[in-house]
């Protein structure tokens, strides 16, 4: 079991937190109004006895009053721009309002004009016959529009009506997402899905945007959640969604969607929403099957588009979503990470992140944007090739500077350095880190001395900073050559100020042991219950070990690994550590016990030494254990 890899994987965004476009504004409350149907007309203004002398003046006053009244009503009339808001009322004169946007009303008007009753019945039923009628109506509208466009390519007046019918027929497919067990197999079985995807290359970009909206709704992981129990189809909702996604992939959905990214103008609201939904479709499909992530990058120019989009000067929803999609594409995916390096993606990420060196994000959305970029960088740094690109782009120097500035990016920079310096491939980064005077900055964070500015800002939990700081120190001891000036400077840090940093290590160790004791008690209770009824297998043991790692064992292993190094390399530290452990009723044997568990749970592949001839982590642990046993 490779513990380093296990605890160095940035998390994917949670599915339940999937991005949504902001909702259209709605009135804060609907005011109930009464209309007195028997109200008599307002009395006419009195005419002066002297005839017409003041007639014009009186008329002007009346008109001015009416205009003022209209203006005052206009501020509260038709919330949400709904002109028919007050069109519906009950017998008592209460108004409820339509609550529909103009676009929705246009669609209903088209349905009412031509086959409206049938369409509404289909929407209400959502049964198999209703689904088939909707798909048939869509295919007829698509065929008619294609025929009209081919006959009159230079005369839009000839095909504009068929295009409006097609627009309505496409949007009528949105409710199919409510019955995936019925609708999705029918979509795949018929030619409707291929026709639907094919319309992404329609000459009218608005038609393509309609298709994008429908596909986004159909591929949503929550599709059909509300009325799943009422469906009569076979299989599960997940199986139906998987069938739909496979059908979309068979029709080259990725290539067509990326082509549309190039022709949409985000200055237009509809195009902006279209881009947002395209990114959402990518997330939905990869959520169904993560194996599609490398296909998206290999077959399209999406990575190039994302890198250009996240470098735009102003922040907006789509820029934030592009950063989130990038972190998803790089998660556990070596081909995509290597492609990022080929397209100078590391340089681009560092350039964007450098703006957070001396200023914090202005709000939560921009903080999420920054976090996604840092996570993308951490994912990519799992590859030796990306570590080299990071070093060539002076990424280590930038991260050290960001730690010094003590803004919100400080914690994220420590995390990036942990990834960059880990493993044998991180040796060069370790040496550059010491040369860039990173030790002073790192141990300032390690000792927990935040500035006033840092206290005023939200930041990552101290425990996470401590974990990544320990990871960096561990990598420094693993990678820096023996007796090198850099290693001597590192060791001196644990001697200075009366061994304060060594004592800090022991404090962290005590805290980790305290957390681990609680978890061990819970596991022991579970073992007793299982022992009474069934045999405990290796799977249960692995799960319990993972729980122990998360409950403090991982921190304990890292601390004891560092303690073993400094105890072996400096007699003064060894004497002081033994004295401090003795006060806690501990000894070096406790460190040996922790390192033995660490050694026994490293993956078999870790037993072999790296290609550069440096010892493996398992060999290092064996040597450290042997030395401590001889003390």
- Per-residue confidence (pLDDT) for residue 225, from 0 to 100: 64
- Per-residue confidence (pLDDT) for residue 500, from 0 to 100: 94
* 51 pLDDT more than 60: no
* 347 pLDDT more than 60: yes
- Per-residue confidence (pLDDT) for residue 72, from 0 to 100: 44
* 278 pLDDT more than 50: yes
The phi-psi region of residue 13 (left if phi > 0; otherwise alpha if psi is between -120 and 50; otherwise beta) is: beta
Look at 44 and 624; give whichever has higher pLDDT.
Answer: 624
In DSSP notation, 341-406 reads HHTTHHHHHHHHHGGGSSS--SSHHHHHHHHHHHHHHHHHTTSHHHHHHHHHTTHHHHHHHHHHHT
- Per-residue confidence (pLDDT) for residue 153, from 0 to 100: 82
- Residue 70 pLDDT class (50, 70, 90 cuts): very low
CB 611 within 8 A of CB 630: no
* 104 pLDDT more than 60: no
Could you tell me the two tokens for 146? 């294609």
- Per-residue confidence (pLDDT) for residue 216, from 0 to 100: 96
* 509 pLDDT more than 50: yes
* 32 pLDDT more than 90: no
> Which of these ranges, 124-133, 191-200, 261-270, 396-405, has the smallest mean pLDDT?
124-133
The 8-class DSSP code of residue 90 comes to: -
The 8-class DSSP code of residue 552 comes to: I
- Per-residue confidence (pLDDT) for residue 95, from 0 to 100: 42
- Residue 448 pLDDT class (50, 70, 90 cuts): confident
* 237 pLDDT more than 90: no
pTM of the model: 0.77
* 535 pLDDT more than 50: yes
> Which of these ranges, 79-88, 176-185, 225-234, has the smallest mean pLDDT?
79-88
* 604 pLDDT more than 60: no
CA distance 604 to 607: 6
* 332 pLDDT more than 50: yes
Average pLDDT, the chain: 81
Look at 483 and 59; give whichever has higher pLDDT.
Answer: 483
Look at 173 and 44; give whichever has higher pLDDT.
Answer: 173
- Per-residue confidence (pLDDT) for residue 461, from 0 to 100: 39
Could you tell me the two tokens for 58? 């009186």
- Per-residue confidence (pLDDT) for residue 578, from 0 to 100: 94
- Per-residue confidence (pLDDT) for residue 400, from 0 to 100: 96
- Per-residue confidence (pLDDT) for residue 549, from 0 to 100: 93
- Per-residue confidence (pLDDT) for residue 158, from 0 to 100: 83
- Residue 109 pLDDT class (50, 70, 90 cuts): low
Query: Residue 95 forms beta bridges with which residues?
Result: 89
Look at 80 and 572; give whichever has higher pLDDT.
Answer: 572
* 226 pLDDT more than 60: no
Write down the domain spans for the chain: 504-629
Give the residue among 171, 148, 158 at the shortest CA–CA distance from 217: 171
> Which of these ranges, 27-41, 95-109, 462-476, has the smallest mean pLDDT?
27-41
% the chain with pLDDT above 90: 63
- Residue 67 pLDDT class (50, 70, 90 cuts): very low
CA distance 235 to 223: 15
CA distance 106 to 85: 15
pLDDT digits (tens, 9 = 90+) for 310-331: 999 888 999 999 999 999 999 9
% the chain with pLDDT above 70: 74
CA distance 142 to 161: 12
Residues in contact with 34: Cβ distance below 8 Å, sequence separation at least 6, in sequence order: 92, 93, 94
Average pLDDT estimate for 371-399? 96
* 452 pLDDT more than 90: no
Residues in contact with 453: Cβ distance below 8 Å, sequence separation at least 6, in sequence order: 406, 407
pLDDT digits (tens, 9 = 90+) for 351-363: 999 999 999 999 9
- Per-residue confidence (pLDDT) for residue 603, from 0 to 100: 75
- Per-residue confidence (pLDDT) for residue 127, from 0 to 100: 85
- Per-residue confidence (pLDDT) for residue 89, from 0 to 100: 46
Tracing tokens 């900055």 back to the chain, one arrives at 441
């Amino acid at each position: 079991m490779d513990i380093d890899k296990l605890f160095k994987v940035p998390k994917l965004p949670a599915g339940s937190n999937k991005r949504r476009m902001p909702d259209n504004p709605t009135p804060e409350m609907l005011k109930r109004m009464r209309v007195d149907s028997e109200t008599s007309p307002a009395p006419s203004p009195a005419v002066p006895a002297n005839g017409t002398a003041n007639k014009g003046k009186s008329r002007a006053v009346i008109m001015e009053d009416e205009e003022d009244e209209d203006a005052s009503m206009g501020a509260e009339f038709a919330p949400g721009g709904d002109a028919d808001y007050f069109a519906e009322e009950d017998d008592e004169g209460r108004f409820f309002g339509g609550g529909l946007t103009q676009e929705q009303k246009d669609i209903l008007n088209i349905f009412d004009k031509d086959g409206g009753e049938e369409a509404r019945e289909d929407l209400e039923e959502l049964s198999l016959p209703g689904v088939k009628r909707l798909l048939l109506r869509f295919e007829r509208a698509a065929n008619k529009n294609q025929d009209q466009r081919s006959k009159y390519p230079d005369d839009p007046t000839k095909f504009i009506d068929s295009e409006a019918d097609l627009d309505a027929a496409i949007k009528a497919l949105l409710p199919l997402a409510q019955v995936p067990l019925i609708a999705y197999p029918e979509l795949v079985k018929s030619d409707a899905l291929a026709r639907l995807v094919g319309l992404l290359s329609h000459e009218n970009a608005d038609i393509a945007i309609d298709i994008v909206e429908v596909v986004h709704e159909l591929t949503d992981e929550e599709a059909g959640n509300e009325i799943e129990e009422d469906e009569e189809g076979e299989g599960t909702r997940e199986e139906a969604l998987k069938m739909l996604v496979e059908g979309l992939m068979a029709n080259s959905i990725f290539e067509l969607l990326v082509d549309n990214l190039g022709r949409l103008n985000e200055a237009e609201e509809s195009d902006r929403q279209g881009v947002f939904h395209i990114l959402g479709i990518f997330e939905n499909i990869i959520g169904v099957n993560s194996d599609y992530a490398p296909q998206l990058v290999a077959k399209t120019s999406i990575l190039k588009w994302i890198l250009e989009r996240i470098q735009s000067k102003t922040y907006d929803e789509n820029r934030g979503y592009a950063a989130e999609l990038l972190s998803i594409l790089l998660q556990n995916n070596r081909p995509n990470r290597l492609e990022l390096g080929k397209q100078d993606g590391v340089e681009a990420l560092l350039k964007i992140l450098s703006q957070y060196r001396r200023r914090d994000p202005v709000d939560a959305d921009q903080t999420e944007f920054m976090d996604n970029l840092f996570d993308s960088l951490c994912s990519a740094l799992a590859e030796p090739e990306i570590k080299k690109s990071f070093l060539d782009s002076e990424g280590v120097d930038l991260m050290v500077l960001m730690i010094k500035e003590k803004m919100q990016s400080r914690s994220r920079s420590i995390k990036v350095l942990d990834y960059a310096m880990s493993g044998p491939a991180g040796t060069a980064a370790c040496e550059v880190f010491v040369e860039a005077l990173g030790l002073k900055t790192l141990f300032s964070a390690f000792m927990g001395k935040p500035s006033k500015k840092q206290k005023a800002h939200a930041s990552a939990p101290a425990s996470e900073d401590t974990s990544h700081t320990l990871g960096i120190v561990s990598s420094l001891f693993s990678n820096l050559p023996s007796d090198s000036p850099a290693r001597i400077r590192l060791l001196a840090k644990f001697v200075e100020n009366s061994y304060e940093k060594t004592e800090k290590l022991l404090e962290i160790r005590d805290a980790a042991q305290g957390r681990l004791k609680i978890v061990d008690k819970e596991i022991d209770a579970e073992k007793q219950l299982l022992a009474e009824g069934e045999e405990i297998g290796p799977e249960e043991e692995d799960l319990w070990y993972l729980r122990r790692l998360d409950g403090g064992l991982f921190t304990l292993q890292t601390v004891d690994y560092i303690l073993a190094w400094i105890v072996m390399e400096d007699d003064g530290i060894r004497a002081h550590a033994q004295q401090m452990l003795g006060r806690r009723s501990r000894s070096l044997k406790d460190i040996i016990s922790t390192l033995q568990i660490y050694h026994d749970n490293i993956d078999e592949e870790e037993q072999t030494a790296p290609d550069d001839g440096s010892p493996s982590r398992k060999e290092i642990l064996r040597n450290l254990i042997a030395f401590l046993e001889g003390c």
